[in-house]
Amino acid sequence: MNSQSGRRVSAARIATLAAGFALTLALAAPAGAYAQSSNNEQQRQESVEVIRLSHASNNNNSANDLATALRNTSSNRARIYLDSTQNAIVVRGTAEEIEQTRKAIAELDKPIALYKFTYSITQVEDGKRTGTQRYMLLAGAGEQANFKEGHRVPIVTGKIGNDSSAADTQFQYVDIGLNINARLDGSSLRTKVEESAVADEKSSVGIQDPVIRQIQLETIATITPGKPATLGSLDIPNSTRHQEVEVLVERVQ
């Protein structure tokens, strides 16, 4: 009986020691993995580099698009920021990650295509063309091109003083003439043509105030570079005249 009891005690103690050893291993494994992860973090030597952009800019959102593309396609752990004031990409990472980012920027930061927009405005009266005026604008793809031609007309807004002979007259100036805005995104050309002029009729509010006549054409057209496209027409109020608007888009570089 004593011999059997001793063997049972020994077996129980061995089982207890084995369980304790297994528990020690289980607790030690995560600690070891954490220590290894910490060592890897310490071994990761990061630096910061500023990479200037040569072509992309915030004028047409190309710099922001470039930064977004870098973040979405990068397989490394580098952190990428856009400094719009300096037109630069700021990269924080290892030397290898920075080099990979630099190579990606070199592939993406390409010159923007430059286009020439030639707008032709033809005067038509009673079905006959009486003359054509052409206006040329230059802009890169995705950039806004603006043309403005005209003069400023003064409008009386008030007077200071009770004595009309000594009164000071206050004026506000209104821009009169032709405005053309154009923006090319891919094959879509957004155009806005505004034309204003002083009408012949007099104002019913104040005899000294001019009546401003305004006409506007705003459209989005699919264009093919090198081929003219008709955008529409502007009807002249109180007349049989209208203006036909046509554009020719050509790539310069």
- Round to whole Å and give the CA distance between 210 and 213: 10
CATH of region 47-108: 3.30.1370.120
Is residue 245 predicted with pLDDT exceeding 70?
A: yes
Is residue 190 predicted with pLDDT exceeding 80?
A: yes
pLDDT band of 30, cuts 50, 70, 90: low
pLDDT over 70, % of the chain: 75
Q: Which of 189, 198, 194 is nearest to 234 (CA)?
A: 194
Q: Which one has a higher pLDDT value, 184 or 38? A: 184
Residue-wise pLDDT for 191-224, tens only, equals 999 998 887 776 666 556 777 888 999 999 999 9
Residue-wise pLDDT for 112-125, tens only, equals 889 999 999 999 99
- Round to whole Å and give the CA distance between 244 and 62: 34
Q: Which one has a higher pLDDT value, 32 or 122? A: 122
Rounded to a whole number of angstroms, the CA Rg of the chain reads: 37
Locate 195 and state its tokens.
Answer: 């034309």
CA 117 from chain centre, in angstroms, equals 21
Angle of CA points 174, 179, 182, to nearest 5°: 145
Which residues, 6 or more positions from 15, have their beta carbon under 8 angstroms from its beta carbon? none
Query: Domain boundaries in the chain?
Result: 47-108, 114-251
Which residues, 6 or more positions from 130, have their beta carbon under 8 angstroms from its beta carbon? 123, 124
C-beta contacts of 151-154 below 8 A and 24+ residues apart:
151/175, 151/176, 151/177, 152/176, 153/198, 153/210, 153/212
Lowest mean pLDDT among 2-6, 109-113, 126-130, 186-190: 2-6
Residue-wise pLDDT for 49-82, tens only, equals 999 999 888 776 788 889 999 998 877 788 999 9
Q: Judge contact between 252 and 114, C-beta under 8 A.
A: yes
